[in-house]
Amino acid sequence: MRAIRAASAALLGVASFTLTTPTAVATDNQVTSPVFSVSPATVAPGGRVTLSASGCNTTATATSGVFDTVSIRLGSSTTAVVDSDARVGGQYSVQFNCPGQGTGSFNITISGGRSTPTIGSTATTATTAATTTATAPGAVRGGLGGSIAGLNAGQLAAGTALVVAAATATIFLVRRRAEGRRH
């Protein structure tokens, strides 16, 4: 019987503590992972590829061994001309960098023949996880779990009072039950 009483008292104490403890909530919606794309994924030597970095809050860059480094301005896309001496059948990596938010990598394949624009060509797109350690603008605040913007003495006092009241009530009820059964 004592084990049941002790377990119920402990459960009541944990429940009261859990209900009075503030929860951590991340409310900053500005932190997103950028989405990089290359279109088309297969291009002839001398052809053009369209590069974009949506979701990047700054100017992104794209680098490859078959074209010069290009900058992709916020909210736009850009084109790059593939070198005319690119090896037919070769795959070349395109490296994207969105400072403070992440990086991405895609492969483009060099096809044979002359480059002609294709209508309805499919883009290779994927989301990437951030691999940089820099803090993104508007990131979740550290130290307090990002749950509060500042310390409010009134809320802290009210929360502490609720926890103390719950603990006191729990102890009172457990002792009262124990005294009532000793007769």
Residue 122's beta-bridge partner residues? none
Q: Contacts by 4-12 with C-beta closer than 8 Å and gap 24+? A: 5/174, 5/177, 5/178, 6/174, 9/170, 9/173, 9/174, 12/170, 12/173
The string of pLDDT tens digits covering residues 86-104 is 888 889 999 998 888 888 8
Which spans in the chain are helix H? 2-20, 153-180
Query: What pLDDT is attached to residue 115?
Result: 45
pTM: 0.47
Q: Provide the β-strand partners of residue 35.
A: 54, 127
pLDDT for position 114:
54
Mean pLDDT of the chain, nearest integer = 74
Q: What is the pLDDT of residue 19?
A: 64
pLDDT per position as a tens digit, 144-159: 555 555 667 888 889 8
